[in-house]
Each structure stands twice: as structure tokens, then as C-alpha cells.
Amino acid sequence: MEMDESINVFGEELIACGGDPVTGFFRDNMCNTCAQDIGSHTVCIETNEQFLEYSRFKGNDLSTPIPEFNFSGIKPGDTWCLCAARWLEAYEDDRAPRVHLRKTHIKALEIIPMEILRKFALDLS
């Protein structure tokens, strides 16, 4: 698998999204992507209870630990590389979590308009 260049939505070097729990398509704590990343795990979010409940309701339980995969579960306040389409779906359902733009891969813009992401940015001054 050849990884796409690590560039954020501003065209700058991508910054690590998380670390505990380990995140990203490549499990490198970066929202990096490649052609094989069908879900486009490119949006670095800060989770909250409302989004975790929404995700569980949509069939993707991110908060329950899965020890056999060394996954401790996500808690409110954790950062996570989320699929761009799922973030957009959450946005359309008024459940979108806040995002770290400097940690979000530029490929997310193929699915989510920058104007929308900016409204949820945690890292704009």
C-alpha cells in the first residue's frame, strides 16, 4: 500500500491526531490515507458523548473496548481519525464532533467542503 502524501487541509505537513487509543488507517496516529482506505479515515475529531452515542446508534460502537484487538475504547475528549463520509453524515444529522484541521488530511476535502469543516475547527485562531 502506497500512502498518500501527509498533507493537511491547509496544504501543510499533517500533524499526529492521537496516540491513546492508537488511531488512523495505518494505526500510526495520523489521519493518513491511501487508495485502499475505502472509508477515507482522514478527519481528526475530538470525541464527545453525543457523537459516540450517535456512532453506536449507526452501528459503529467506538466506545466499547475490544481487548483482542488491543483497543481500549474511545472516551469523550479522545482524538480519533474518523471516516470523512461518517463525519459528513453526523453533520447532516446535527451530531458532528469538533475537528482539528491541522491534523485532518487534505483528502477529507474531497468529501467535506472546507467551509463546513471550519465551523467545527478547534485549532483556528
Domain boundaries, the chain: 1-125
Identify which of 47, 48, 42 has the alpha carbon closest to the alpha carbon of residue 30: 42
Identify which of 23, 75, 72 has the alpha carbon closest to the alpha carbon of residue 53: 75
Cell 478527519 belongs to which residue?
43
DSSP code of 104?
A: S
For the chain, state the CA radius of gyration: 13
The pTM of this model reads 0.94
The CATH architecture one would assign to domain 1-125 is: 2-Layer Sandwich (3.30)
Binned at pLDDT 50, 70 and 90, residue 125 comes out as low
Give the relative orientation of helices 84-92 and 49-57 as an angle to the nearest 10 degrees. Answer: 100
At 110, the amino acid letter reads: E
Q: What sign results for the dihedral spanned by CA atoms 72, 76, 79, 85?
A: positive
DSSP code of 5?
A: P
Q: What is the mean pLDDT of residues 114-124?
A: 95
Q: What is the mean pLDDT of residues 103-124?
A: 96
Cell 491513546 belongs to which residue?
20
CB 93 within 8 A of CB 99: no
Is residue 107 pLDDT above 70, yes or no? yes
